Amino acid sequence: VDGTALSPELELHPGTNQLLGGINLPYDVHAAAEFTPSEADAALKDTDFVTDVVEFVLTDTCNSLSAPVAKVFGGKSGTAAQFGDTVSGVVSIIETCASCLASADPATGQLKGPCVRSCAECNSTAAVCERHQRLGLKEHHSLLRPCDACLEA
């Protein structure tokens, strides 16, 4: 994870005619043009500007290969709990298996079901539990086995 500070600013997106640069934006330019000065001041005071970007990069254990996998834009109003939720969300997407990604709805990107590989019993005992043994698993570590949806298919 690598963070970079950004200068707060608004920018007009030429394709959509929307003002970008705030967490609670975009405003349509035509709607913003009709703001009274006091409405414009209030809108800007209420805007949580994007002031930082966090880039998530996957790196191999030898630190010889790396690839950026996500960028998350944030403002000053974020909390540690929100950042933790963001990290958890990025990690869950990264850990989704290729089969579950391929079966996602092409229009929305929504997965058909959860892609779960971890098992509390397997993790706590560091051995394959009875249920997963019946399904033919040989490895207890979640990264070395298929997800439950792929096992049951």
Look up residue 91 and give its DSSP letter: H
The confidence score (pLDDT) of residue 12 equals 65
Single out the residue of 37, 20, 18 nearest to residue 28, CA to CA. Answer: 18
Paired tokens of 51:
């002031």
> What is the tens place of the pLDDT at every residue in 94-104?
888 888 888 88
Q: Above 70 in pLDDT, residue 30?
A: no
Look up residue 111 and give its DSSP letter: -
Q: What pTM did the predictor assign?
A: 0.55
> What is the tens place of the pLDDT at every residue in 100-133?
888 888 888 788 888 888 889 999 999 999 988 9
Confidence bin at 17 (pLDDT 50/70/90): low
Q: CA-CA distances (angstroms) from residue 20 to 13, 29, 67?
A: 7, 10, 27
Q: For residues 132 and 70, what is the distance between their CA atoms, to the nearest angstrom?
A: 32
The confidence score (pLDDT) of residue 5 equals 62
Q: Residue 148: in which H helix or E strand, if any? A: helix 148-152
Q: For residues 124 and 5, what is the distance between their CA atoms, to the nearest angstrom?
A: 40
